[in-house]
Amino acid sequence: MPVSPEPADVALDGPHGVTVPVRLLGVSARLPERAYEHDAAYDLHAAEDLVIEPLGRAVVGTGVALGLPPGLAALTLPRSGLAARHGISIVNAPGLIDPGYRGEVRIILLNTDRDEAFRVAVGDRIAQLLFLPLTRVDLAATDELDETERGPLGFGSSGRGERA
């Protein structure tokens, strides 16, 4: 089994970083794009029309497949505007795209609105795509972990008793 590359293997090889090949899978597919030059994520567009009923979910094709190199992964994230205006989110947010996957990027949208259906049209921006370098990690079983200020404190522990 091949070993995951070190982060240095995903070198910034061009003036703007790594080049990721994107295969457009149909006439309605669009290349992911950033709205502004310094945006962290790229907009993903719907490649099909459909309606998501109130409290329903649907898997929406984007019509794109990514050629992620070893050492680079991508996450699919919800769009804040869709969430704020229509209650649309992604069920498995963030969705992980591994470097070896070559199939279509599909987004599982959830309509949280109790009353209104949501119509998705070809070309609509439905999610964001964020690229992340991977770091090789070796896991080692142990009987004890080092002590930290937080320790085992979990949900809500950063409020230290304060009301939200």
Q: Which of 30, 125, 134 is nearest to 72 (CA)?
A: 134
Judge whether residue 71 has pLDDT over 80.
yes
- The pLDDT of residue 124 is 97
6-15, 106-115, 132-141 — which is least confidently predicted? 6-15
Judge whether residue 47 has pLDDT over 50.
yes
Judge whether residue 28 has pLDDT over 50.
yes
Fold exhibited by the domain 20-136: Deoxyuridine 5'-Triphosphate Nucleotidohydrolase; Chain A (2.70.40)
Angle of CA points 118, 121, 125, to nearest 5° = 90
Average pLDDT over residues 123-146: 95
Q: pTM of the full predicted structure?
A: 0.81
